[in-house]
Chains A and B, each alone.
Chain A
Amino acid sequence: MSARVITLTVNGRRVSCPVEPRKLLVNFIRQDLGLTGTHWGCDTGNCGACTVILNGKSVKSCNILAVQADGGELLTIEGLAENGELHPIQKAFWENHALQCGFCTPGFIMQAYWLLKQDPNPTGEVVRNMLSGNICRCTGYQNIIKAVLAAAKEMR
């Protein structure tokens, strides 16, 4: 129905945009903001490819309406590297071959980002549990766990 204008900070920049209430946040990010690094892979909020940081929390942007992000602060994969310098998590994924087709990767990186903010020194088991909301079909998770633990070490 009728569009309403939402205003939010995206990767540090303020944006204002009219959206229909029914527009999912993930579609808003991809279509209206043109930030296609955040992906979608399912209909039920299981795969986690759409994970972003909203108001400091990792959330599945396919299970949130864009209008709910009004007035909020959004961080997507595009906002992680600063001044062209890769974030340690991104570096760790690269170094540890923690991605193959890359489709699930931004979602994993954002979830890892949030996880390491909560717990800078997680055990392997904690990492496995905290990533259980993200599905990868290519890597079998082995190198993803390795990468997140390596990033944690690097960041401490």
Chain B
Amino acid sequence: MLVLDSFEYFAPTTVRQALALAEKYRGRSRFLAGGQSLLPMMKLGLASPNVLIDLNRIKGLEYIKEAGKWIRIGAMTRHNAIASSKVLAEKAPIMVEAANQIGDPQVRNMGTIGGSLAHADPAGDWGSVLIALRGLVQVTGRRGSKLVMIDKFFVNSFTPRLRSGELITEVRIPTPPRRSGGAYVKLERRAGDFAIAAAAVQLTLDNNDRIRSVGIGLTSLGPTNLRAVKAEKILTGQLPTAEVVEEAAKAAAAESKPVTDPLRGSQDYKRAMAAVLTKRAIMMAVSRARGGG
């Protein structure tokens, strides 16, 4: 039978309270969002906080809404809510596609986008998708909120740019314009496993079918979710021909920084898959941007 180490527990009802508690128990506390990553870690003894601050009673952090040029998603929004969001299905279907590939259905009922980002697992899915969308993370502390570009949000494996006493409260993605398409292609050993590798691509085509803008995020291919900068440069302004896509895919592989996972894939394999998955994701994104499936 599984028993956790003891901890003190608080269930604040406002962000302000949550932050005050984090401040008070600085260095000894953790936030509990969906719990689908934190609780397994606590069960295995990999995390043993003295204080657990439960965010689930805070009202007003679960929402998906369009606000002008942005789509704003509350940090406590569950993966499943994202998967079934009509707004996202219409405006940024890559979010829906990614949500459906996270964990399993029960995990998706509890896990949150904010919790996932704060966990900063290099195998995490949302960071790569937000990289592709050029999204922002709203970080709230005692002194107020600030918006952080996703590129700046991951410092290292399991190390987000969050001070103790700071909380993710919202995720923002710029609403993709017309002729946009995205895809999240994930390779896993078997259903529900961590990704061997994954690629997120979101792009917009101009009226001449050239790639006006593109974002490529890579999962399990480096110490954090990565942006494939060189690959993006190769694609920008170009017609998405087979040669261009191939070149971009190769570049993504070259700039990825995979390490061997003795169970899921060798470094060389992962690097090769970075190219394959990036290529596939680009092609799907292009097809969708053109109005295909």
Measured CB to CB, the residues of A under 8 A from B are: 1, 4, 20-22, 24, 27, 40, 43-46, 48, 51, 57-60, 62-65, 67-68, 111, 114-115, 129-130, 132-133
Of B6, B32, B40, B105, most buried by chain A (CB within 10 Å of CB) is: B105
Given A24-B2, A24-B4: A64 in contact with B109 (beta carbons within 8 A): no
Given A63-B39, A64-B35, A129-B191: A21 in contact with B105 (beta carbons within 8 A): no
Q: A143 CB to closest chain B CB, in angstroms?
A: 19
A contact residues around B54 at 8 Å (CB)? 65, 67-68
User: Which residue from B1, B3, B36, B52 sits with its C-beta under 8 Å from A63?
Assistant: B36
B contact residues around A45 at 8 Å (CB)? 36, 39-40, 106-107
Whether, in the assembled complex, B243 has its beta carbon less than 8 Å from a beta carbon of chain A, the answer is no
Quick check: B105 and A65 within 8 Å, CB to CB? no
For B, the interface residue count at a CB cutoff of 8 angstroms equals 30
Residue of chain A at shortest CB distance from B191:
A132
Quick check: B44 and A43 within 8 Å, CB to CB? yes
**How far is A100 from B11 in the complex, measured between Cα atoms in Å?**
41
A contact residues around B191 at 8 Å (CB)? 129, 132
**How far is A115 from B106 in the complex, measured between Cα atoms in Å?**
10
Quick check: A43 and B107 within 8 Å, CB to CB? no
Chief secondary structure at chain A's binding surface: mixed
Q: B55 CB to closest chain A CB, in angstroms?
A: 11
Quick check: A22 and B192 within 8 Å, CB to CB? no
A contact residues around B9 at 8 Å (CB)? 1, 4, 21-22, 65, 67
**How far is A63 from B44 in the complex, measured between Cα atoms in Å?**
12
Quick check: B7 and A1 within 8 Å, CB to CB? yes
Quick check: A132 and B11 within 8 Å, CB to CB? no
A contact residues around B7 at 8 Å (CB)? 1, 21-22
Quick check: B192 and A46 within 8 Å, CB to CB? yes
Q: B99 CB to closest chain A CB, in angstroms?
A: 13
**How far is A24 from B7 in the complex, measured between Cα atoms in Å?**
13
Residue of chain A at shortest CB distance from B104:
A133
Given A60-B106, A133-B106: A43 in contact with B43 (beta carbons within 8 A): yes
Residue of chain A at shortest CB distance from B84:
A118
B contact residues around A111 at 8 Å (CB)? 105-106
Q: A3 CB to closest chain B CB, in angstroms?
A: 10
Closest 8 CB pairs of A and B: A133-B104, A21-B9, A132-B191, A57-B109, A22-B4, A44-B40, A133-B106, A63-B39
Whether, in the assembled complex, B159 has its beta carbon less than 8 Å from a beta carbon of chain A, the answer is no
Q: A25 CB to closest chain B CB, in angstroms?
A: 10
B contact residues around A64 at 8 Å (CB)? 35, 39, 110
